[in-house]
């Protein structure tokens, strides 16, 4: 048995890495991979503690990065969704030989909202705290509620949550230690001051209806990262690659070719 992270690789072309979000696994990218493998060699990983990597564990971004680098391609385009966006950004900052272009999807350098000294929009700290408490009492129910939050507001919310659930349930359940560590990262990690050190081209993708990463974040980051590109999916909430998959894939192809 391979004790490392589970990777699924398909297609031909430039290397492209897809990183899933909290509570999910690599199966969420199934539709995306089906399109992108015509343009790229697509690498999909289950992060430590999730899906087929449930036997692994990592408590912080450093430990995740160490495990990713064992089998990750170098000089690739990295696409990180939600918590995966933090992972991909961390890789671009600390291991740029792996990342030649960076794409963050419905992600933020700091997920937790703060009021002072400067207002930063995000998830209310008490909401993240409640998820942590609920996780200990009702493991599956907490993940279900989080999936509901991710598609809330989308015109295809019912279909999106069906796809998310099917993807998550198609692979082994995440281990509780990794889920708790992930919530702590969403609560504590703040990469805002490091963003100026990103040396690779960057594309930021957002859902107009996203309740977890508000559009105000995109405006703040447009100022902090004036050389980055951004695109807003008008019909999407937190999972634009499900709600508007064709447009999502075209954005990645265009960015890769730019």
Nearest in space to 165 (alpha carbons), one of 23, 43, 50:
23
Nearest in space to 153 (alpha carbons), one of 87, 212, 232, 222:
212
C-alpha torsion sign, points 186, 188, 192, 194: negative
In contact, 151 and 160? CB cutoff 8 Å: yes
Q: How far is it between the farthest Cα atoms of the chain?
A: 50
Q: How far apart are CA 209 and CA 118, in angstroms?
A: 24
Q: How far apart are CA 202 and CA 106, in angstroms?
A: 14
Q: Which residues are catalytic?
A: 82, 210, 238
């Amino acid at each position: 048995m391979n004790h490392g992270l589970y990777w699924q690789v398909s297609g031909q072309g430039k290397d492209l890495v897809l990183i899933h979000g909290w509570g999910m696994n690599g199966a969420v990218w199934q539709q995306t991979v089906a399109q992108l493998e015509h343009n790229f060699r697509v690498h999909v990983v289950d992060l430590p503690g999730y899906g087929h990597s449930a036997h692994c564990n990592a408590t912080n971004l450093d430990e995740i990065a160490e495990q990713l680098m064992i089998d990750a391609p170098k000089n690739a385009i990295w696409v990180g969704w939600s918590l995966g966006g933090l992972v991909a950004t961390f890789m671009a900052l600390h291991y740029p030989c792996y990342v030649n272009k960076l794409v963050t999807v419905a992600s933020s350098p700091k997920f937790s909202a703060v009021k002072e000294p400067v207002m930063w929009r995000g998830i209310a700290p008490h909401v993240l705290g409640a998820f942590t408490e609920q996780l200990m009492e009702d493991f599956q129910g907490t993940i279900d509620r989080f999936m509901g939050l991710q598609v809330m507001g989308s015109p295809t919310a019912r279909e999106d949550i069906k796809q998310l659930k099917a993807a998550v349930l198609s692979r082994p359940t995440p281990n509780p230690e990794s889920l708790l560590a992930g919530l702590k990262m969403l609560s504590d990690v703040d990469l805002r001051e490091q963003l100026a050190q990103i040396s690779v081209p960057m594309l930021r993708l957002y859902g107009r209806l996203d309740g977890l990463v508000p559009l105000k974040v995109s405006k703040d980051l447009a100022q902090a990262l004036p050389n980055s590109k951004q695109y807003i999916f008008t019909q999407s909430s937190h999972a634009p690659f499900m709600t508007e998959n064709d447009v999502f894939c075209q954005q990645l192809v265009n960015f890769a070719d730019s």
